Amino acid sequence: MTRSNDLTEERRWPRFTQHALDAGVRSTLSFQLYTGNHTSGALNLFGKTRHAFDEESVLIGEVLAAHAAIAIAAARTAEQLLSAVASRDLIGQANGMLMERFGIDAAQAFAMLTKLSQDSNTPLAEVAMKIVDLGPDRR
């Protein structure tokens, strides 16, 4: 938590302080948003008066910051899960196409996909997308 009770006396951030004062801000209270080792941003509160934030404000801000950090982490996790499901489906489609095209089983098709990925230094999902985008073999 970082607090500045009176920006007219603040010396840590001269450029920010001047812009804040010009905008009518006289005090600030900031909380780092983090979960574990990951920082997600900051919750910044601005007061129009000096000494706008007391100890109760700090406690409430800490609770709000913790909730915000958890919400951001949950949103990122959900986004990653959706991406993983989409990648899994795409890889499954490419695997099926290789099985049909080359008359091989699922393990052989997946081995082919992973070898293509490693040999080209391309993520597996990208290799799968290229195969799917090429479409069925039009002999």
* DSSP string across 78-93: HHHHHHHHHHHHHHHH
Q: What's residue 139's pLDDT?
A: 52
Backbone angles phi, psi at 29, to 5 degrees: -145, 125
- Neighbour-count burial of 64, counting CB atoms closer than 10 A to its CB (0-12 exposed, 13-18 middle, 19+ buried): middle
Asked whether 27 and 7 are in contact (CB, 8 A), the reply is: yes
Q: What's residue 137's pLDDT?
A: 65
Question: Bridge-partner residues for 33, per DSSP?
Answer: 41
pLDDT tens-place values along the chain, 139 residues long = 999 999 999 999 999 999 999 999 999 999 999 877 778 899 999 999 999 999 999 999 999 999 999 999 899 889 888 888 889 999 999 999 999 999 999 999 999 999 999 999 999 999 999 999 988 765 5
Backbone angles phi, psi at 20, to 5 degrees: -65, -45
* DSSP string across 21-73: HHTT--EEEEEEEEETTEEEEEEEEEESSTT---HHHHHHHHHHHHHHHHHHH
Q: What's residue 37's pLDDT?
A: 79
Written as six digits, the tokens of 45 are 């509160």
- Tell me the CB-side half-sphere exposure of residue 8, using CA atoms within 13 A: 6
